[in-house]
Amino acid sequence: MIIQFPEIILTFREGKGYYPIYVKKFKPYIPPPYRAVALYPIVLENAFDELRNKAMEICNDIVRVLRVTYDLHVIIKKDEPIIVDDRNLHNTIEKLIDIKNTCLKEEKQWNRLPIMLVFGRRTPRWYKMSPYYALKMICRDSIVSQYVTETVLDNYKMSIENIALAIFTKLGGIPWVPSTQPRSDIVIGVATTMVRIYEKGLPIDARYIGAFSIYRYTTYPVFKDFMSIVFEDKEEFRERFGELLYESLTSLAQEIIREGKEKFTVTIHYSGKRPSKSEVETVKGVLDVLPIQAYYTVVTVGDDTIYRVFSPAYDYYPPKSCLIKLSNREGILTTGGAIIINDKTYYHPVGMPRCLKVDVVDTNINEERVLHEVAKDILVLTRLHWHTMSTRIREPISTRYTRRLAFLVASLQYLSAKIVEKWKELQVPKVMKSSRLWFI
């Protein structure tokens, strides 16, 4: 059975349009709490010459987009960038800490929020110390930071738009919302895995990492919690994960009760892997003891499916927003593909897009409709990737954001433990909680 969903329109505060065509024509949906911000340009000495030479031009272009598109008052604090010697990582960390403390103190008196914009080389990721990780470790969710590499020069105009969009979102702004609201009152994204850390080809450590993100919709998406946990012990990890999920859901249940509701619907999206029976029982155990009736669905969302979809009607591209039901609990969802707007066909910009595999693991809702409703929710959440202007994203933020948060915090926690003797304030705790999109 094939179900074609209507295309989801992205709505701005003034008018409607298909993103990104109208992004400059309409204002963002919700501005951030801080409307005045100060940009601190910082250049690492090891950055490529062309990037160093264009650093201030890039800053000026970012400021222009933030002013024109996002209606923010932005000032650049320096006529020239602050140069940081990054040949010695410890010296780099000390310098970045000094800059952070100075700009926080200076901007507080003006009621402005500082932004640390660091220009440096693209560096290895996941469990390898670099200026990028040093910056994220120092700033975390206390101050907006943006790391800019030489890739900005490859597609300059789009990169400037992406950086401005990321900064606006990290400040707490909402650039757009989908015209369709999810069926679920609450959507929870869950990512858990075990990783081994290697040095010189040999495993030296293992960590159980996980994260969950909770989204609630009113008239626009509200990000209630971003929680990440890292433990060496598997049982401790499971127990703490269940406790934190219970605390967050209990708080939300009380909020819903105060609104006069007697029940709510919650959907849990697992990233990639199918949750074990014990993981599902943990989630159900949390929902069972809440002081309000909870209708739930546990589903896996994977982007590594072997399936491909073709359609002769679209020159063998798949139609966008199409659900192919394999059964009442399994389906293939095309989040990228061809779409017809005003009788004109638009194609996916890069090759043949892959599909999402959606599996319903457990639910207490009518099975005949649940996959259909879950697929619609996933489509809505694929339109909320506020870290990029690209239309190529096929995965919902419930899984993509959550997985990124899990791996990022696990790396920060592991690396910070190596330098804790010198900078105890940089120690990343085993449990981190935030309501800001600081990690995108």
> What is the SS3 assignment for 219-288?
CCEEEEEEEEEEECCHHHHHHHHHHHHHHHHHHHHHHHHHCCCCEEEEEEEEECCCCCHHHHHHHHHHHH
Other beta carbons within 10 Å of 205? 13
Residues pairing with 267 in the sheet: 187, 297
3-state secondary structure of 418: helix
Q: State the first-to-last Cα distance of the chain, in angstroms, to the nearest integer.
A: 37
CB 387 within 8 A of CB 161: no
Inform me whether the pLDDT recorded for 61 exceeds 90: yes
**Which pLDDT score, from 0 to 100, does residue 138 have?**
92
What's this model's pTM, rounded to 2 decimal places? 0.89
Is the pLDDT at 114 greater than 60? The verdict is yes
Domain ranges of the chain: 31-173, 177-403
Cis check for the bond before 20: say yes or no (omega within 30 of 0).
yes
For 237, what's the count of Cα atoms within 13 Å in the CB-facing half-sphere? 20
Checking if the pLDDT of 250 tops 60, the result is yes
Average pLDDT over residues 75-100: 90
Q: Tens digit of pLDDT for each residue in 5-50? A: 888 888 888 777 665 555 667 788 888 988 889 999 999 998 899 9
CATH: 1.10.3470.10, 3.40.50.970, 3.30.420.10, 1.20.1530.20. Which one for 177-403? Answer: 3.30.420.10
- Write out the two tokens for 47: 């950055």
Within this chain, domains 31-173 and 177-403 share the same CATH topology: no
Q: How confident is the model at residue 351 (pLDDT cuts 50, 70, 90)?
A: low
Length of the chain: 440
Domain 31-173 in CATH: superfamily? Response regulator (3.40.50.2300)
pLDDT at 284 over 90: no
157 pLDDT above the threshold of 70: yes
Residue 294 has pLDDT above 70, yes or no: yes
Task: Return the top range by mean pLDDT from 92-101, 171-180, 361-370.
Answer: 92-101
Which phi and psi (to 5°) does residue 100 adopt? -60, -50
Which pLDDT score, from 0 to 100, does residue 319 have?
80
- Percent of the residues in the chain that have a pLDDT greater than 70, as a whole number: 92
Range from 189-203, 219-233, 293-307 that averages highest in pLDDT: 293-307
3-state helix, strand, coil in the chain (%, to 5): 35, 30, 40
Mean pLDDT, residues 408-420: 82
Q: Taking 80 as the threshold, does the pLDDT of residue 148 lie above it? A: yes
